[in-house]
Amino acid sequence: MIVIEDVYKRYKTDHGPGKWILQGVNLTIPRNVNVGLIGSNGAGKSTLLRIIGGIDHPNKGKVERRCRLSWPMGQGGLEPTLTGRQNAKFVCRLHGHQDDLPERLIFIQDFSGLKDAFDEPVNTYSSGMRSRLQFAMSLAFDFDIYISDEVTAAGDAAFRDKAAAAFKGMTNRAGLIMVAHSESTLRQFCEAGILLYQGKAQWFDKIEEAFKAYKDTVQK
Amino acid sequence: MAEARNPLLVSFAVWKAIFLREALDRLFDMRAAWFWLLVEPVLHIGFLVFIFTVIRMRTVGNADVAVWIIVGMLAFFLFRRTAVQVTYAVDSNRPLFTYRQVKPFDPVLARAVLEAFLMSIISIIIIGTAILLGHEAWPYDALLVLQANFGLWLFGIGYGLVASVLMELVPEMEHVLKILMLPLYLISGVILPLAAIPQPYLDLLLLNPIAHGLELARAGFFPYYHTVPGLSMEYLYAWGISGIFLGLILYRRFALQLVMR
C-alpha cells in the first residue's frame, strides 16, 4: 500500500520558483491494483510518479511506501563508463541479491537480448539497447508494486512483443502504477485510474470513469 | 508480500555496491587509470627530489630529503584526493539516485574509504621502493604516522562534504575552491620546510591544519627531526571532526537540494 499525504511540488526555474504542479495530492494506492495516471500534458503525471518512486521529493507532504516498490521501470540509472554487466551487478547488489547474483545476471542478459554487448561499456550502446537493458533490469526483481513511465515503447518490434508479454505477466502477480500516452495501453493494463487535474488527484475504481472525467475536464 | 529488509542491511548492501562500482571506475575508467594513480605522486616526488638534490640539499631538519618529500607528499595527496573525490561524490553519481536506497551520503563514504585504501597501497609501494633504493624510510613511530594521516583523511572528508554543499548552493564556489587548492600545496609545507619560515608568518601558516598533519607525519618517520614548534595533533583532529560534523549537518539540511532537480 502506498499512502500519499498532502503532496505539493513545484520546480525551480531560472527565474525563481515555478508554478505549483501538484497542490495537495492525497491518495491511497492499494497493492495488487493496476492503476493508470491520466491527465493532460504537464498535469504532473511523471512528477507524481517520480515522487512515488522516491527519485524526486515533494516540497511539502509525504509519501509512505508500505511495500516493496520498484524504481520507475526503464529509467534505472546507468553509469556510462561501466559495462552492462557491471551496471546490472550494481543494481543486484543494491537490492540485496549478492547470493543469487549469477542467475539474475543471466536473466538480464537473456531478456535484454544484448548478448556480447552486455560486456561492452554502456556509452557504446544505442538508445534501443539502453532501454532494453533498463527494462530487463526492472523485471529481474520481485516487487509488490511496479511503476512505469511510458516503458512499453522501448526497443524494436520483436522486443516490444516480448516486453509486452512479460509486462502482462508481471501485472498479474504484482501491482502497477503507470503513465502512458496511449489510451489503449492504459485500458489494456489498468483497471483503476487516477485523474490529475489542476494539481489535485482523484481516484476512480474503474479506469473508464477516469477517462470520462478526463474528457469532461478537456472540454471545459 | 515480500518481507522488508532491515534498514541497516540495505545500507550495507548500498555501501558495498557503491564501493565496488567506485573502485572499478577509479581503477579502470580509462586506459591504465590505475597506473596514473600511482604515477602522479611518483612524478611529483621524483621531480622535487631531483631539484632538491641538484641544489645540494641533502637533509631537511636532520631528515633525509627524499624521505622527507615522500612522506609529506603522500600525506598531502591523501588529503587532496580524499577532499576532491568527496567533493564530487554526489555530482558524479547522479544516475544512481534513481534507486531509492541510495542516499547522498553513501557515495561520499564509499569514495572516502576507497581513497584511503588506494593511498595506503600507493604509499606502501612508494616507501617500499625508497627502502629498496637504500633510503632510511622505516617509520620510527608508525602509530604517530598513522594518527597524522588519519587526521588528514578526516579533514579531507570534512572539507569535501562542506565544499560539495557550498558548490551546490553557490555554483561560483567551484572556482574559488579550485583557486584555494593551489596555494595549499605551497603553504602546507610540502615543498617548503616550514622551519625555514620566520615568525610572525610561521604562526599564520600554522593556522592551516594540513601543515600540522604533514609535519607530524614526518616527525613519526625521523627520531631526530627538528619539527616546527607549536605542532598539535589535537588541532588537526579538531578541524577534521568539526569539518565532518559541519558537513553532515549541511548534508542533513540540504540533502534533497543536492539530488533534486
Please report the ipTM that was assigned to this predicted complex. 0.79
Q: Taking CA atoms, what residue in B is nearest to A66?
A: B4
Q: Are A89 and A101 in contact (CB under 8 A)?
A: yes
Place of cell 607530524: B216
Residues whose CB falls within 8 Å of the CB of residue A20, separated by 6 or more in sequence, listed in order: A8, A9, A10, A199
Give residue A152's pLDDT.
Answer: 58
Which chain B residues are closer than 8 Å to A89 by Cβ? 17, 20
Q: Taking CA atoms, what residue in B is nearest to A138?
A: B99
The number of CA neighbours under 13 Å toward the Cβ of B49 is: 18
Domains of chain A, first to last:
1-68+185-220 (3.40.50.300)
Please identify among residues 209-238 of chain B the ones whose CB lies closer than 8 Å to any CB of chain A. none
Mutation for testing the A interface, residue in B10, B91, B98 having most A CBs under 10 Å? B98
Q: Are A69 and A52 in contact (CB under 8 A)?
A: yes
Q: Which three cell numbers stand for residue B167?
A: 558548490
B98 CB within 8 Å of a chain A CB: yes
Specify the DSSP element, H or E, that contains B70. helix B65-87
Closest CB to B98 among A12, A76, A96: A76
Q: Are A82 and B24 in contact (CB under 8 A)?
A: yes
Closest CB to A96 among B5, B29, B261: B5
Specify the DSSP element, H or E, that contains B167. helix B142-169
Q: Average pLDDT, stretch B136-157?
A: 91
Residue-wise DSSP of B182-196: HHHHHHTTSSS-GGG
Across the interface, whether the CB atoms of B20 and A93 are under 8 A apart is answered yes
Q: Which three cell numbers stand for residue B129?
A: 621502493
Q: Are A5 and A160 in contact (CB under 8 A)?
A: no
Distance CA B231, CA A219 (A): 77
Distance CA B247, CA B159 (A): 8
Q: What is the pLDDT of residues A117-154, one digit of tens each?
A: 888 888 888 888 888 888 888 888 888 888 887 765 56
Which chain A residues are closer than 8 Å to B256 by Cβ? 57
Secondary structure (H, E, C), chain A: CEEEEEEEECCEECCEECCCCEEEEEEEECCCCEEEEECCCCCCHHHHHHHHHCCCCCCEEEEEECCCEEEEECCCCCCCCCEHHHHHHHHHHHCCCCCCHHHHHHHHHHHHCCHHHHHCEHHHCCHHHHHHHHHHHHHCCCCCEEEEECHHHCCCHHHHHHHHHHHHHHHHHCEEEEECCCHHHHHHHCCEEEEEECCEEEEECCHHHHHHHHHHHHHC
Identify which of A159-173, B18-32, B70-84, B87-101 has the greatest average pLDDT: B70-84
Q: How far is CA A111 from the centre of its chain?
A: 18
Three-state DSSP class for B59? strand
Q: What is the pLDDT of residues B180-236, one digit of tens each?
A: 888 888 888 888 888 778 888 888 888 889 999 998 998 888 888 888 888 888 999
Q: What is the pLDDT of residues B79-93, one digit of tens each?
A: 999 999 999 888 888
Q: Which three cell numbers stand for residue A36?
A: 493508470
Which chain B residues are closer than 8 Å to A68 by Cβ? 1-2, 4
Three-state DSSP class for B64? strand
Nearest CA distance, A220 vs chain B (angstrom): 32
Place of cell 595533533: B233
Closest among A217, A218, A211, A219 to A38, alpha carbons compared: A211
Q: Are B115 and B81 in contact (CB under 8 A)?
A: yes
Enter the DSSP assignment of B212.
H
Pairing of strands A145-149, A69-73: parallel
Residues whose CB falls within 8 Å of the CB of residue A169, separated by 6 or more in sequence, listed in order: none
Nearest CA distance, B28 vs chain A (angstrom): 9
> Which residues partner with A23 through β-bridges?
A8
Place of cell 604516522: B145
Across the interface, whether the CB atoms of A96 and B100 are under 8 A apart is answered no
Nearest CA distance, B22 vs chain A (angstrom): 10
Q: What is the pLDDT of residues B54-112, one digit of tens each?
A: 887 777 777 788 888 899 999 999 999 999 999 988 888 888 888 888 888 889 999 99
